[in-house]
Amino acid sequence: MIRPARPDDVPDIHRMIGELAEYEKEPDAVVATEEDLRTALFGPEPAVFAHVAEHTGEDDVTATAGFALWFLTYSTWTGRHGIHLEDLYVRPELRGHGHGGDLLRNLARICVERGLTRLEWSVLDWNTPAIRFYESLGSTPMDEWTVRRLDGDALVSLGSVRA
């Protein structure tokens, strides 16, 4: 079952963000706290959204299997919003049950229902299992684009210059 995240999901989502960082070989990169996540998702004007996948085992116990964390984008070319999927994660022991596909189908459904024109995300070039999975859904790489980032001292330096 896929459903919108609730405040009581924050500890599980935060834990899975740490698991994702481990998998992506960046375990020390996560500095966000549960409170940061709670504020971003459930504060007065949230700009970030999340859905969770629930898995009911043979013992009828339901557990959080994974999550999708996303936000709206805007395309000046289409004149419409889209969705940027920031993180998609399914716990390793629950992969193969369709949760990742269900989470992506849910986001695609949101796009279709709201008239959003794009569902986009990034994937590490070495993550072959994820790339194969995304290709099986019909996604295409944007080969001519390179993701750029400005953070740390470079961000502070540029942000300190008056335009």
- Determine the Cα–Cα distance for residues 2 and 66; give it in Å rounded to an integer: 9
Which SS3 state, helix, strand or coil, does residue 57 take?
A: coil
- What amino acid positions are annotated as catalytic residues? 134
Check the CA dihedral 9-29-119-55 and report its sign: negative
**What's the Rg (C-alpha) of the chain?**
17
Instruction: Give me the sheet containing 80-90, strands edge to edge.
Output: 2-4, 49-56, 62-75, 80-90, 119-121
Contact (CB, 8 A) for 41 and 79: no
